[in-house]
Structure 1
Amino acid sequence: MPESVPFWFAIAIVAYLGYKLARPPMWLVIVLLIAGFLLAHSFLAPAIESGTTTGVTVVTPTTAKP
């Protein structure tokens, strides 16, 4: 029986490890967070969503059921 991990928790772990390993300046982290938030609410949001959906299907292809 597989375990289910919330997506936000997985992202938080990756973000924590990335910050600890790369040590970017705090101002850069804040700028990237604000820019990501603003970009998600812009006219580019549908293109970003389409690109991530396509990327997920490329990385994890589904098998066709007979």
Structure 2
Amino acid sequence: MTVSLPLVLVLALIAWAAVKYLHVRGWVVVVLLLLGFYLQGTFLAPAIDSGTRSGVDVINQTGK
């Protein structure tokens, strides 16, 4: 069985849980979100992308 969730929904749930249970302030979530947008324009973006894709592949293969 395959479940497809939009990445925005997953990130929103993680941010909500961090604010609710870890008592992270809302402005910290916003700063980290902006940092992610700035980071995607740097030379590190391809490494982050390939690492994320590799991690998803590992997780998907263990569920079979």
Shared fold (TM-score greater than 0.5)? yes
1:37 matched to 2:3: no
Q: Structure 1: give runs of 5+ residues left out of the alignment.
A: none
Post-superposition CA distance 1:26-60 (Å, at most 9, x none): 44323322211111111110010000011111111
The percentage of counterpart residues that share the same residue type is 43
SS at match of 1:17: helix
Letter of the 1:39 partner, please give it: L
State the distance in 1 between where 2:54 and 2:3 align: 25
SS at match of 2:24: coil
Q: How far did 1:7 drift?
A: 2.9
State the distance in 2 between where 1:35 and 1:18 align: 17
- Could you tell me which residue of structure 2 aligns to residue 19 of structure 1? 19
SS at match of 1:23: coil
Letter of the 2:28 partner, please give it: L
Q: Structure 2: give runs of 5+ residues left out of the alignment.
A: none
- C-alpha change, 1:21 and 1:2, in structure 2 (3 Å) is same
1:50 matched to 2:50: yes
Query: Which structure has more RCO (C-alpha within 8 Å, separation ≥ 6)?
Result: 2
Q: How far did 1:17 drift?
A: 1.5
1:8 matched to 2:8: yes
